[in-house]
Amino acid sequence: MKVLGIETSCDETGIALYDSEKGLLADALYSQVDLHAQYGGVVPELASRDHVRKILPLVKQVMAVADVNADCINGVAFTAGPGLVGALMVGSCVGRALAYSWRVPAIGVHHMEGHLLAPLLENNPPDFPFVALLVSGGHTQLVKVQGIGQYELLGESLDDAAGEAFDKAAKMLDLDYPGGPQIAALAEKGVAGRFKFPRPMVDRPGLDFSFSGLKTYMLNSVKAHAKDLLPDEQTMADLAYAFQESVVNTLAIKCRRALEQAQLKRLVIAGGVSANLALRETLETMVKKQGAELYYARLQFCTDNGAMIAYAGCQRLLAGESMGYEIQVKPRWPLDELPAI
Q: Which of 114, 178, 200, 231 touches ligand KG4 by CB under 6 A?
A: 178
Q: Does 113 bind Zn ion (CB under 5 A)?
A: no
CA-CA distance, 216 to 81, in Å (whole number)? 30
What's the closest the beta carbon of residue 42 comes to Zn ion, in angstroms?
12
Residue 167 touches ligand KG4, criterion: CB under 6 A: yes
Pairing of strands 130-135, 140-147: antiparallel
CB atoms within 10 A of CB 113: 27
Based on CB atoms, which residue is closest to ligand KG4, 49 or 171?
171
For residue 271, state whether it binds ligand KG4 (rule: CB under 6 A).
Answer: yes
Region near ligand KG4 per CB under 6 A, out of 33-41, 205-213, 232-240, 268-276: 268-276
* Binders of ligand KG4 in range 51-110 (CB under 6 A): none
Phi/psi at 252 (5° precision): -65, -40
Judged by CB under 5 A, which of 304, 305, 308, 329 binds Zn ion? 304
Site string for ligand KG4, 215-254 (x = CB under 6 A): ----------------------------------------
- Region from 52-60, 129-137, 191-199, 241-249 binding Zn ion, contact rule CB under 5 A: 129-137
Of the residues 163, 190, 200, 313, which one makes contact with ligand KG4 according to CB under 6 A:
163
Distance, CA of 308 to CA of 297 (rounded, Å): 10
Compute the least distance from the CB of residue 267 to ligand KG4, in Å.
18
- Helical residues (DSSP H) of 67-156, grouped into ranges: 85-102, 111-117
Q: Catalogue the E-assigned strands of 140-225.
A: 140-147, 150-156
295-334 residues in contact with ligand KG4 (CB under 6 A) are 303-304
Q: Count residues contacting Zn ion (CB under 5 A)?
A: 2
Per CB under 6 A, does 180 bind ligand KG4?
Answer: yes
Residue 164 interacts with Zn ion (CB under 5 A): yes or no: no
Does the footprint of ligand KG4 cover residue 272 (CB under 6 A)?
A: yes
How many angstroms separate the CA atoms of 92 and 103, rounded?
16
CA distance 316 to 107: 8
**Is 259 within 8 Å of 131 (Cβ atoms)?**
yes
For 77-92, b/e burial (b = at least 16 CB within 10 A) is: bbbbbbbbebbbbbbb
Q: What are phi and psi of 85, to 5 degrees?
A: -60, -45
Least Å distance, CB 136 to ligand KG4, is 3
77 touches 310 (CB < 8 A):
yes
Among 32, 79, 136, 221, binds Zn ion (CB under 5 A): 136
> What's the CA gap between 252 and 246, in Å, rounded?
10
Give the residue with the Cβ less far from ligand KG4, 149 or 272.
272
81/126 with CB nearer ligand KG4:
81
Which partner from the list ligand KG4, Zn ion, none does 273 bind, CB cut-off 5 to 8 Å by kind? ligand KG4
Burial class of residue 121 in the structure, from the number of CB atoms within 10 Å of its CB (0-12 exposed, 13-18 middle, 19+ buried): buried
In the bound state with Zn ion, the residue whose beta carbon lies nearer, of 153 and 230, is 153
Using CB atoms within 10 Å of the CB of residue 280, give its burial: 0 to 12 exposed, 13 to 18 middle, 19+ buried.
middle
Task: Give the residues lining the site for ligand KG4 (CB under 6 A).
Answer: 10, 115, 136-138, 163-164, 166-167, 178-181, 184, 271-273, 275-276, 303-304
Task: Give the residues lining the site for Zn ion (CB under 5 A).
Answer: 136, 304
